Amino acid sequence: VRGGVNLNKIGFIGYGSMGSMLIRGFIETGQVRQEQIVVTRKDKSRLVEIKETWPEICIAQDAVEVIKNAECIFICVKPLEYTNILKEIKPFVYPHHHIVSITGTVAIKNIEKIVDCGITKVMPTIVSEAKEGISLVCHNSKVTEEASRRIESLFGNISKVWRIDEKDFEFASEFTSCGPGLIAAVFKELVDAGLRHNDSFNNDQLTEMVLQTLYGTAKLMLEKKMDFRDVILRVATKGGITEEGVKVIEKSLPQVFNEMIDKCMNKRIAVGEKISDDFK
Ligand SMILES: NC(=O)c1ccc[n+]([C@@H]2O[C@H](COP(=O)([O-])OP(=O)(O)OC[C@H]3O[C@@H](n4cnc5c(N)ncnc54)[C@H](OP(=O)(O)O)[C@@H]3O)[C@@H](O)[C@H]2O)c1
């Protein structure tokens, strides 16, 4: 990577679950060419893997080298590593830079305390690896119309984009971004219960039954604009078999989901407070 800011380059600080998904998604949808990407990660020995997949990609030795060589920079590190990265790049951030933050617990106003440039907060979801899901987006006042369109178009090709207020990010993230993990945990319980009740079908077969049914239910609801109540009414006829199961779910799950949302939100507040201290 040579010095000087290149307006066509997109930088990635962090190449974990999210950084790698975004790079792959942007390249696969033909929106970004490999040679436009500058990427770094902590474990330099694992940068070799990236070169094997995309030989033209630019590898930077550290975050500073990324900021010096790209205009739009995605920060894809864990919350507790965030301030260190910002402090490291701070002397090299100029007003033309556009920082894209994918860490829900880091408030834009805290990032603005350290760097003065356009800042977009995006909450991606791993289901965008399959070009699905909703990416939540908001911008600070320094992001130009053109820059906001560019970012929303990048995410629009791997997901649906919802522009929402930053104050609603954390709650909405439970559904869109934590959602796949929470949904997987719920339906793993269903499969496990199935395994306890029968010996004809194994884990893979029951998982396939649940997945095909989940996928079909989602597709049907979206195509026919149905809500969950509509599906329940169609399947769980009065006095029928499904109704017995629905009654159990309606009795027990509200408490489980209330507790789940409370615990996740409390954890967010705790992480957010810890991170806010780093910004003082
Ligand atoms: N996972 C999700 O579903 C999801 C969804 C939405 C948002 N997010 C957010 O996305 C962010 C990243 O999450 P993740 O799941 O992708 O985490 P991850 O898999 O742990 O990846 C973090 C990356 O940061 C790199 N890193 C750490 N310190 C660095 C430094 N000083 N310089 C350069 N790179 C550094 C790590 O490098 P090494 O790998 O070399 O150690 C790693 O590649 C988090 O803030 C998370 O809240 C995650």
Does ligand 1 come within 6 angstroms of the Cβ of 14?
Answer: yes
Would you say the CB of residue 101 lies under 6 angstroms from ligand 1?
no
- In this prediction, residue 277 has a pLDDT band, given cuts at 50, 70 and 90, of confident
Contacts of 124 (CB under 8 A, 6+ apart): 18, 21, 22, 102, 133, 135, 155, 159, 177
**Minimum CA distance residue for ligand 1 atom 31:** 42
Check residue 201 and report its DSSP letter: S
Tell me the residue type at 21.
M
**Each residue's pLDDT tens digit, 168-224:** 999 999 999 999 999 999 999 999 999 999 999 999 999 999 999 999 999 999 999
78 Cβ inside 6 Å of ligand 1: yes
Give 237 Cα–ligand 1 centroid separation in angstroms: 47
Rounded to the nearest 5 degrees, what angle is found at the Cα of 35, between the Cα atoms of 129 and 23?
15
Strands 10-13 and 72-75: parallel
Which pLDDT band, with edges at 50, 70 and 90, does 44 fall under?
confident
Assess contact for 260 and 182: CB atoms under 8 A: yes
How does pLDDT run across 100-126, given as a tens digit for each residue? 999 999 999 999 999 999 999 999 999
Q: How many angstroms separate the alpha carbon of residue 174 from the centre of ligand 1?
A: 18
Residue with tokens 């199961």: 245
Structure tokens at 71: 């205009």
The whole-model pTM stands at 0.92
Q: Which atom of ligand 1 is nearest to the CA of 41?
A: 34
**C-beta separation of 122 from 72 below 8 A:** no
Which pair of tokens denotes residue 108? 């834009």
The helix/strand/coil state of 39 is strand
